[in-house]
Amino acid sequence: MNTLDSHNLNQRNVLTIYAHADDEVLPAAGTLSLMSKAGWNIRCLILTDGNLSSSAVKGKRHQEAEAAGKIIGASYDFYALEECNFSTQAVIKVTEEAIKHCLPDIIITHAPQPEQFGHRDHEVCAIAVSNVATRKNIPLWYSAPPVFLRGFEPNFFVDITSVIEEKIAAIGCYESEQEKAFMQLDAILVLSIFWARELGQKDGYFEAFQISRHCVDASFFSALAHLKNPVLSSR
């Protein structure tokens, strides 16, 4: 695991915590790219080392992640929890350690889903990260599952039309996972269009989130008032 940089008090930080490398770009590459362009420090924490990856090359998924990070403006930290066998307590420990170093303004992670609808690792990650974020009163966003949207109720949408090419390129960095149906270009675009239609938008591409908890101060509204082209929508 790489050591997280010390906190820059003049820069806002977003920490994403996902079970596997590629989980971060499928639902949120566009949003992370926009945040990076706006000056946010983007740290992506990956819990597992990809030992059950489609690639036979050890460490391939991490190499792919770092390539994706160059596109969306994110840096990565990798752990080596055992896929399909790590506990909520292990993730709680990792999350608390990361928070001490990163001091995130926002945490983004998997949306909680019953195991029959999603990946076991995603569910364990979501439960553990939610526990820590709630106890430490850190704003928490859940990103959309790539498949099986049952139980996911988005209330926050980000227009990623201006960075859709970056999202496609970042996902494309995961060559070892390209055989998966939801990694295909048509699936990426269809889901992004679907979220636009959910908002009644005839054009454009969006990413969807469910905000579990978020607090803002007066400066938030001041910043919104000065935006010429807001990219965030809530519903």
pLDDT digits (tens, 9 = 90+) for 149-208: 888 999 999 999 999 999 999 999 999 888 888 899 999 999 999 999 999 999 999 999
pLDDT digits (tens, 9 = 90+) for 121-145: 999 999 999 999 999 999 999 999 9
Averaged over 61-77, what is the pLDDT? 96
The four Cα atoms 73, 20, 125, 217 give a dihedral, to 10 degrees, of 10
pLDDT of the residue at 80? 92
pLDDT of the residue at 6? 37
pTM of the predicted model as reported, rounded to 2 decimal places: 0.87
- Tell which wins on pLDDT, 176 or 36: 36
- Does the structure show a pLDDT above 90 at 3? no
- CA 161/CA 166 separation, integer angstroms: 10
pLDDT-based confidence at residue 75 (cuts at 50, 70, 90): very high
